[in-house]
Amino acid sequence: MPSRSEQKFLPFRASDMIGLVTDVRRYPEFLPWCHAVRIRKHFQEGDVQGFEADMVIKFKMFTETFTSAVKTNHAEGRVDVSYVKGPFKHLDNSWVFTDVEHGCMLDFHVDFAFRNFLLQSVVTALFDEAMAKVVGAFEQRAHNVCLKVGEDMAAK
């Protein structure tokens, strides 16, 4: 069961980063191995907004589709992703963004396991490298589409 936790300073507003993480329709434009996304339904649970989405992942010789629930609590600066159906035994992912001087702190966590032993073996062997690419892709996307704290529109 690979898992990873990471804390990182980002020079962007927490609200902008939440918007970037929850804009799953754009994932195929920048996220490694993500080939398609479809929003299934939206929901509201008190202060938490959410949706279910299907994502098609292509990794080496594997193509898998899975459904996850994405819940956003803007007041807490939090995005939680949980597994609904697909090739996983389980999937838990959280993004917590806290505004700090000159940007925000990201507290990222992911934990998952695949049902398919072969796929689990391949992913486990490359897990650290793959997760670094995923986090790096989000960071690069933020540099491309978000304003840094203190930056104005003319600078973009």
Q: What is the pLDDT along the chain (156 residues), one digit of tens a residue?
A: 678 899 999 999 999 999 999 999 999 999 999 999 999 999 999 999 999 999 999 987 889 999 999 999 999 999 999 999 999 999 999 999 999 999 999 999 999 888 888 878 877 777 888 888 998 999 999 999 999 998 766 555
Q: Residues 33-62: pLDDT tens digits? A: 999 999 999 999 999 999 999 999 998 788
* Reported pTM: 0.89
On the CB side of 44, CA atoms within 13 Å amount to 2
CB 144 within 8 A of CB 38: no
Q: Please list, residue by residue across 81-118, b when 16 or more beta carbons sit within 10 angstroms of its beta carbon and e when fewer do.
A: bebeebbbeebebbbbbeeeeebbebbbebebebeeee
Per-residue pLDDT, 155: 57
Domains, the chain: 3-151 (3.30.530.20)
**Cα–Cα distances in angstroms (integers) from residue 113 to residues 1, 84, 94, 116, in the given order:** 5, 13, 16, 9
Q: What's the confidence (pLDDT) of residue 130?
A: 84
Q: How far is CA 155 from CA 16, 29, 146, 150, 151, in A?
A: 17, 23, 11, 10, 6
- Report pLDDT for 129: 85
Contact of 57 with 33, CB cutoff 8 Å: yes
d(CA 91, CA 94): 10
